[in-house]
A = this chain, B = another copy of it.
Amino acid sequence: MSSAESLERLDVALTPQQRFEEYLQSRGQRQTKPRKFLVENIFSQHSHFDADELIEKLPRKGQPDYVSPATVYRSLREFVDAGLLNSFQLDGRTVYELDYGYPEHDHLYCTRCRKLIEFRSEPLMEIRNNVAAEHGFRVTGHRLIVHGTCRDCTGSRRTKRKQDLV
């Protein structure tokens, strides 16, 4: 119900770093410099991003703490698996967002400025569950993206994209 663009953090027992450490240990995997660096970097700000945007923000090849694209991709998948991040498809690329420590939510997507606005709706969940129940369907989750034009972009000229819903 909030009109803020981003939702607030929840209280969680462990830091993302600790949680990832547990995940790694439980699978006999190792804590490495790239992995630590990436978790730290990603959780230092709340935003949506794709692999390419993340790579842009990181040190270039030759710089200290450089992480290769392959490792970034590999790590992102681990983070999703570990429950640190969430991912979904938008305009062909995979978009990631912080999951650990943040409440479940859906998105409004402004097709003009490409901004993602988060929202929570309890009634929405109820309806989802009711519909599923009617179909004898056991829900594990859902993905909802509402397309349109955000407040800031409304009023200026209309969007030109022809295929908003893909």
Binary interface profile of A, 122-134, with partner B (CB < 8 Å = 1, else 0)? 0110011001101
Report chain B residues within 8 Å CB of A146.
Answer: 128, 131-132, 137, 139, 141-142
A151 lies within 8 A of chain B by Cβ: yes
Interface size band for A: 35 or more
4 closest A-B pairs by beta carbon, nearest first, are A136-B151, A139-B148, A142-B146, A144-B144
Using CB atoms, name the residue of chain B closest to A150: B137
A61 lies within 8 A of chain B by Cβ: no
Are A131 and B143 neighbours in the complex by a CB distance under 8 Å?
no
Binary interface profile of A, 74-89, with partner B (CB < 8 Å = 1, else 0)? 0000001100001111
This chain's copy number in the assembly = 2
A166 lies within 8 A of chain B by Cβ: yes
Determine which of B80, B131, B162 lies in contact with A121 in the assembled complex, contact meaning CB atoms within 8 Å.
B131
A51 lies within 8 A of chain B by Cβ: no
